[in-house]
Amino acid sequence: MPEPHTHYFEVELHLKGTGRKGHIDYKMPVWAPGSYLIREFPKNVEGFVATDKAGKNLRAEKIDKNTWRVYSQKASEVKVKYKVYAFELSVRTSFIDASHGYVNGTSVFMYPEGYQKQSGELVVKPYKDWSKVSTGLTSTGNFTYTFPDYDVLADSPLEIGNHEVLTFTAAGVPHEVAMYGPGNFVPDRLLADMKKVTETAVAIFGELPVKRYVFIVHNLQRSGGGLEHLNSTTLQTTSTSYGTESGYNGFLNLVAHEYFHLWNVKRLRPEPLGPFDYSQENYTTLLWVAEGFTSYYSNVICLRAGIITPQKFLDTVSGSIHAVENTPGNKVQTVSEASFDAWIKSYRPNENSRNTEVSYYTKGTVLGHLLNMELMNATNGAKNLDDVMQYMYNRYYKQLNRGYTEQEVKQALELVAGKKLDDFFRDYINGTKTPDYNCIFEAAGLQLVNLNAGNNQVNWGATASPSDGKLIVRSLTRGSSAWQAGINVQDELLAIEGTRVASADEVTAALANYELGDRVQVLVNRSGKLQTLEVLLLKDESVRYRFERVEAPTSQQQQLFEKWLHLK
C-alpha cells in the first residue's frame, strides 16, 4: 500500500510446487461470508500479471467474471500481481485512504483453484507512516502471519495503520480491541463491560474455542453494523455512540451479537454455510437460526451480564414482536423463505419490500423467545434454548464436524422439549400464521397489552418526502388508505381537499380535519398529468405492545418469570 491516498492495495501471490500444471486458475470471491449478497469483488481488480520464478512473463487471460487463467507451462513457481481498488468502508468490503487500511479477505485475496487447502504465509507491508496491524491471524513477527488454508486467510480481516490497541482477558483468553478513529468511550469502563459480555457468552457453551480474539472497531461519523469472523469481528459505530445510554448499550449489544457468532455460524452452522463456494450463492433456509437466534442471544447476554435491566429486556422483546406484526410482508413471506431469498431480497430492498418481506433477524429473534418459553414451560423451567444450542454445538460441530439441517434443528428442539413441535414449524417457520403470544407468555405470568387498542387513527400509508420543491411519494403500506385508493410511488402529492400540501407534516395536518370512513379528494401529479383520487380513510390497525404481569401469578409462573429474566 505505497500510496494509500489512491485507495489501492497491491497484492503479490507466490505459488510453489506447480510443476505438473499446464495452467492455473486464480479466482476472486464474489461475496463475503456472513453477508448474503453477490458483491462482485472482481470489479475492483486491475493490472493482473503473472511471471515464473525467473521473472519471465506467463500468458494470462480472464475466462469469466472472477477467474484469471495463467498458462504456467509447468513452471515450479508462479507469481501473480494485481491491484485492488478499495474505497468502500463497510464491514463487508475493504478500504484504504491516507488514515488507515482495512482488508476484508474475500475482497482482496484471490485463491488458486485446487490449492485452497494449502497453507501459506501472509506478509503485510504497511504504508511507511503506519506502525500497527491487528488481525486474528497467527503472527510470526515483522508483520508476517501464517494461515493453514485459504478459508482462514479469507476469514481474518486486517486493520492497518496507527490505531489505538486496547486489551482485556476473558475466560483466560487474551482479547484485543483495535480502535480506529476517535470515540467518546471510557477505556476502563468499556473493557470491563466487554469482558462481562464475552464471559457471559462463553458461559452458554461452557468453552471458548479460540486462543485469541480480536475486535476491529471503526468509530465513524455515520455508520453501524458488524460482521463475524473465525476468531475476530469488525464492528462499526458512530464516534459519539458511547456517550448515551442507548448508544453505549447498543454498541455492547453489537459486541454480544458478533461474539456469539463465534459459536453460532462460525462453528455451529447450517449445512450449506461451509465449506464455502466463493463464486456463487450458498443457499440456506436457516438464517432465522444463524442470525435470528444470534440476535435473540445478544439481548439475553446483555441482560445476564447486567448491561440492561429486566424491564429494558422486556421492552426489547415486545418491541421485536410489534415490529414483526406491523410488517405487512410478515403475512406474505415465511421466515424460511426470507432466509433462502436473502441473496436477492434482503440486501436489495425497494419501495415495496416491507409489503412482501419479513426480516429473518427480527422474526428469528421473536421465534427464539417463543421457543425458549415453550422449552421452559414444557420442562417446568429445567431447560431452555441454551440447552438446545449446547446440544447442537457438541453434536454437529464437535462430534460430527458438519453443518445441520432444518430437520435436525427441529429434532434438537423436540429432544429438549420432550414433545413434538410440528405445529410450531408448520405455522410460524414454514407458514405465516400469527402466534398466540399471550398463550405462550402466560407460562411466565405475562400478557402482551396492545397500547394502540382503542385508537381511532387513520392509516394513511403513504410515506413522502420533498425533492426539488415537490412532495414525492416514496413508499406505500399494503392495505392502507393510500394503497387502496391507487396512489403510486413517485406520485407528487399536491393537495388534499383543495388544501396545498408540501411536506409530510402538512399531509398529517390536512388529514386531521377528517374522521375514519370519510372520503377525501387527493390531487396528484403523475408523470406530468394531474389526477384526483378519492381516498377512503381506513383505520390504523398497527399494534404497539407492552408486557404486563398477570394478576396473582402462580408459583410456577413466578418461577419461570424469574428464571427467564435472570432474577435468581
* Structural domains in the chain plus CATH codes: 4-115 (2.60.40.3650), 279-292+328-450+550-568 (1.10.390.10), 462-536 (2.30.42.10)
What is the rounded CA–CA span in Å between residue 320 and residue 45? 41
Task: Tell me the Cα Rg of the chain.
Answer: 27
What is the rounded CA–CA span in Å between residue 401 and residue 268? 9
What is the rounded CA–CA span in Å between residue 369 and residue 377? 12
Burial class (CB in 10 A: 0-12, 13-18, 19+), 106: buried
Give the global pTM. Answer: 0.96
Tell me which amino acid residue 392 is. Answer: M
How is 210-274 classified by DSSP, letter by letter?
Answer: -S-EEEEEEEESS--EEEE-SSEEEEEEETTGGGSHHHHHHHHHHHHHHHHTTTBTTTB-BTTSS
What is the rounded CA–CA span in Å between residue 460 and residue 452? 16
Q: What is the pLDDT along the chain (568 residues), one digit of tens a residue?
A: 999 999 999 999 999 987 777 899 999 999 999 999 999 999 999 999 999 999 999 999 999 999 999 999 888 899 999 999 999 999 999 999 999 999 999 999 999 999 999 999 999 999 999 999 999 999 999 999 999 999 999 999 999 999 999 999 999 999 999 999 999 999 999 999 999 999 999 999 999 999 999 999 999 999 899 999 999 999 999 999 999 999 999 999 999 999 999 999 999 999 999 999 999 999 999 999 999 999 999 999 999 999 999 999 999 999 999 999 999 999 999 999 999 999 999 999 999 999 999 999 999 999 999 999 999 999 999 999 999 999 999 999 999 999 999 999 999 999 999 999 999 999 999 999 999 999 999 999 999 999 999 899 999 999 999 999 999 999 999 999 999 999 999 999 999 999 999 999 999 999 999 999 999 999 999 999 999 999 999 999 999 999 999 999 999 999 999 999 999 7
* Separation in Å, CA 228 to CA 10, 290, 321: 25, 11, 26
What is the rounded CA–CA span in Å between residue 533 and residue 474? 17
